Structure 1
């Protein structure tokens, strides 16, 4: 087939092009022709198709996401905000931390191992491109019913991919979630988070500045894997029989990425780059157009210089390939020899493929022939913007009007049965089968990890400065009320940081939804963004960045609206953190916060097939007062342990606490059924030495938080009123579920 050049595109305006097959709409194709004043070449069409995809352009979400800017929190802690590869915050002592969460959902359904593995690899490179050393990862996951055959296909592969890639990189996996619901059948959610640390002076940005500076591609060679990859898959609703387009899922090599990380960090340490971008979704199309768009001039690239694993690749395929472990750097000519020398030392392939120009065009040639001549901003940043119609779906009024009549235990035997049932249900059961496949302690700076409320890592080994991170989403609450649901998730993620004694500092998010072409789904999304923007503003937490994942549905069945919220907090000395559980007898247990009859969206309701009612209402002012109390409880050494109440309520929290160190508890509850099973938000169990009672009461009075003495620690059972549950029996119920399902 003859090469389609800019010259041939000009002289053959009526050539039929496969824009529909590449995911472009007719009006989008017409706009490309208008921008260029001619039809696009096949290479230009390839670039626009991947960069204007939902995954890369955010064309359906931009109009809503601007609220994060309109309602932005003004804080000196935010060093780099939305718009770069990842946000960066000041954590003190001259350190900056970058963190971000993204999705790799559809590739993980098609090819679970590689989909999940390359999701980890991609988010790690996003952190690396900011100039940071990656120090930890997390993985919030959602799957279809735990008993379903396809879940048994997808889940083990995803877990193996997350663990295999992260373990080989030498990055501790310090937290995440594994949740099951029928709406995720065919649409698992594989969200990956990475945290990195650097000094303030080390921050790098994605821009191609300085005419004459060189464009260097380094890392793995480009292959045919992932052509169209996530950029096409993430813009498509799966049909009942699976995806119509099946581009190859990217194939990752964590050992290549590990070397790439060390090579890049040495390059950064010598300040050899002007700008840097990883090659993730949309590959070279993204890296070249975004670097040029973020700079002050244009860019000229010789595509035939790109090192290939497969020499048969066409120019279009090279531009669309999402082969992993590749980076693109802008380097001044005076530094190029040293740059290449470091790459050679690490045995990393590095090739000069172009240079920054004084013009305002991105020009790409193939063996001397011009095949791309575009304004780079129209590719990278000025794609379509849709005002998608949205309207409250009919189900909202229906489910909100339903009475939540869950069966409640009425005697000691039924209370025991309820506690054991919750302990073993897949959403609450022990996840050691999963987490044992991850290395939690590599690098030696992990302070706490699963199943703690948050993950925590040491940033400085001499001062013991650290950061804690938690991810949370309660899709059941978001289904009932998207606005309140995301605020509740935000408050819970922040509370999970605070229980350890860390002060919440910043937010990232991964917003997972069905098709934006469905007005009901779009309403869920709009309400979620509004709620998150309002909630972050009220709590004084800046949104540093995030990700939107649409088209998570099979046929007409969309997933539950699932906004995964990540909150990062700072702790001045990790040695003083408050543990999640107690390790000795004789401590007093107190419940902080009030309990109401909140069963809508609860795990107890889910177990009984009930999905209706009104979600709880958030009280962010109370949430902030509680967080302040929890941080003070660490600094003033009041708490021996603190644990958030979330899914499964008090029952689940007590189960996790007594099993952690095998120390039982005796608890007395006024209304045991409601107190145990309700999921009223904003509650924490704390354990204190009896001598701290008066100090605790002074703090809760100051914070205006209710405080109820519920029991003491000790013994070999969890005793709740007249119900006695031996720890051996409770542990058996809690730990056997995952090995039975997946082992």
Structure 2
């Protein structure tokens, strides 16, 4: 009988259940070592493999005449006509922002930008969707100022305009802000760069910044519920460098244009583990990576730390054999690291070498696409809070007259007083005090400034070496009324899609596609799963009715 090398507490620390550990042992035919256990921990998190939400997301429409790339790649891509292709995506950085608001929000911006230029697109605009507790709370004010400063710092320094967004305040978000960032990019390469590794024997290049211990276990952290102990996870928050990312954008786009890059993947959640396993699995091949070749910023790192680090501004490429030096020279010219760190192999494994030995060896599919899947049952009837809310009727409205309104708590108020009270609410009031901190005119393509209309508009200039085209712009918006979604997830989610479409139409734009960002409580809890399931159904039906496919999220 084999002795289990890990205690239940050590397994739980990787956010794995004992049943999942047993499944890991079954797949490997042996117990994992510590590095392998960490790799499974991050890749089997909800954040990376959607083990609870995947069945719900499959109902979204994803095909359409303008859809060039749908879910499954770093970002969706749509055809705007006139040989213009737009990459776009939204994602959250909620938990990191809750414990380290400045860096959590800043690296959220950096991460979404990498998703865009990894496809071969130049980032042209940023938007955000933010939720905070009541501003009367001192901690909320600290979180809010830190998040806004982080967003403005990274976006302003990297030179991508923040052109739109929304901010909502409610005590429900006290201590647990939602920080969602969306990015748009215009394709500059003749071919869309995808992430599936190809070509046995082709070199695997590591490019960008160095690897350190920052961001350790960030994917698992993002999938866990926040608690009073979450501050102990502060090391899980990454640290970004927007000036280095600007160099990385230029170097990557230049490298892609050579035609020597076969596949590319940014190192976001789960770092080297995610990029190697996803690239290998998508290409149906394997990747062998030597950690001794990885540029590091700290000494004494062990494989577990290399593989789970979420240090920012890093990429992994599969290059054409024989053209490594050409690519390395480009990155060195931009002041970035670039090394041949591995090879594409025929055996569909992720094999990690360290100090001349195999430090980890796992089937790529076990980490990337053949991951746990839980099909949970919906509550037999809506939760009690929702049923209680649905009993409301107009008869419960307070008494009113032409002069004002009378409530039990406030007494009589004139309509003028009611209006002033509404305008005093930070959710309703002008957001100029927020967006004035963002540079929304850098690149000189912002047509509709923040606050000027219901959606942002950005001019699309002809890309390099392309034929001139008629004046073209793209409109974008982020929308959701969280109170509606909480009270009735199905109807509220439909309303969010419809609101976004209306706001685009108000600036004369045709709604083309949707990128979703679903911020819900744990789907492992019945109420959380019910809310998520009903909201996904509402999004799916609204997108089908409006013919706006979902390209990812």
TM-score scaled by length of structure 2: 0.93
Q: Structure 1 stretches (4+) deviating beyond 4 angstroms?
A: 240-246, 406-409
Q: Which runs of 5+ in 2 are unaligned?
A: 405-412, 463-467
Q: Which residue does 1:521 correspond to in 2?
A: 528
Q: Residue 102 of structure 1: which of 66, 75, 91 is its match?
A: 91
Q: Which residue does 1:194 correspond to in 2?
A: 183
Shift, 1:46, TM fit: 1.1
1:90-122 CA-partner distances (Å, limit 9, x unpaired): 001001101100000000010000000000000
Q: Which residue does 1:457 correspond to in 2?
A: 458
Shift, 1:63, TM fit: 1.3
Distance 1:213 1:354 in 2: 9
Distance 1:356 1:169 in 2: 33
Say whether residues 1:44 and 2:36 are aligned partners. yes
Change (3 A) 1:200 1:76: farther
Shift, 1:421, TM fit: 2.2
Shift, 1:488, TM fit: 0.6
Q: Which residue does 2:54 correspond to in 1?
A: 62
Q: Which residue does 1:116 correspond to in 2?
A: 105
Say whether residues 1:434 and 2:434 are aligned partners. yes
1:535-561 CA-partner distances (Å, limit 9, x unpaired): 111111110001xxxxxxxxxxxxxxx
1:359-410 CA-partner distances (Å, limit 9, x unpaired): 2211111111011111101101111111234312111111100235256563
Distance 1:407 1:119 in 2: 47
Residue 194 of structure 2 aligns to a residue whose secondary structure is coil
- Deviating more after overlay: 358-367 vs 249-258: 358-367
Q: Which residue does 1:500 correspond to in 2?
A: 507
Say whether residues 1:298 and 2:286 are aligned partners. yes
Distance 1:406 1:442 in 2: 49
Q: How many residues align?
A: 532
Q: Which residue does 2:391 correspond to in 1?
A: 401
Q: Which residue does 1:446 correspond to in 2?
A: 446
Change (3 A) 1:280 1:407: farther
- In the TM superposition, what are the counterparts of 1:272-421 in structure 2 within 5 Å? 272-391=260-379, 392-403=382-393, 404-406=396-398, 408=400, 410-411=402-403, 414-421=414-421
Change (3 A) 1:63 1:73: closer
Say whether residues 1:142 and 2:131 are aligned partners. yes
Shift, 1:449, TM fit: 3.0
Q: Which residue does 2:70 correspond to in 1?
A: 81
Distance 1:92 1:507 in 2: 18
Structure 2 contact 91–112 (Cα < 8 Å) conserved? yes
Q: Which residue does 2:255 correspond to in 1?
A: 267
Q: Which residue does 1:590 correspond to in 2?
A: none
Structure 1 contact 409–415 (Cα < 8 Å) conserved? no
Residue 274 of structure 1 aligns to a residue whose secondary structure is strand
Residue 443 of structure 1 aligns to a residue whose secondary structure is helix
Shift, 1:358, TM fit: 1.6
Distance 1:65 1:182 in 2: 29
Q: Which runs of 5+ in 1 are unaligned?
A: 1-10, 547-743
Residue 503 of structure 1 aligns to a residue whose secondary structure is coil
- Deviating more after overlay: 491-500 vs 420-429: 420-429
Shift, 1:147, TM fit: 1.1
Aligned-CA RMSD value: 1.6
Structure 1 contact 274–329 (Cα < 8 Å) conserved? yes
1:552-606 CA-partner distances (Å, limit 9, x unpaired): xxxxxxxxxxxxxxxxxxxxxxxxxxxxxxxxxxxxxxxxxxxxxxxxxxxxxxx
Structure 1 contact 95–200 (Cα < 8 Å) conserved? no
Shift, 1:240, TM fit: 4.4
Q: Residue 34 of structure 1: which of 21, 26, 29 is its match?
A: 26
Distance 1:178 1:252 in 2: 24
Change (3 A) 1:479 1:347: same
Residue 187 of structure 1 aligns to a residue whose secondary structure is coil
Change (3 A) 1:83 1:129: same
Structure 1 contact 120–165 (Cα < 8 Å) conserved? yes
Shift, 1:312, TM fit: 1.7
Distance 1:409 1:465 in 2: 50
Shift, 1:241, TM fit: 5.6
Q: Which residue does 2:409 correspond to in 1?
A: none
Q: Which residue does 1:596 correspond to in 2?
A: none
Distance 2:279 2:248 in 1: 20
Residue 333 of structure 1 aligns to a residue whose secondary structure is coil
1:427-462 CA-partner distances (Å, limit 9, x unpaired): 011111111110000000001132121111011266
Distance 1:63 1:239 in 2: 28
Change (3 A) 1:469 1:406: farther
Distance 1:296 1:12 in 2: 32
Distance 1:334 1:128 in 2: 24
Shift, 1:211, TM fit: 0.4
**Taking CA–CA contacts closer than 8 Å with sequence separation of 6 or more, which of the two structures ends up with the larger relative contact order?**
2
The higher radius of gyration belongs to 1
Q: Residue 171 of structure 1: which of 139, 154, 160 is its match?
A: 160
Structure 2 contact 188–253 (Cα < 8 Å) conserved? no
Structure 1 contact 238–244 (Cα < 8 Å) conserved? no
Structure 1 contact 135–196 (Cα < 8 Å) conserved? yes
Distance 1:194 1:156 in 2: 22
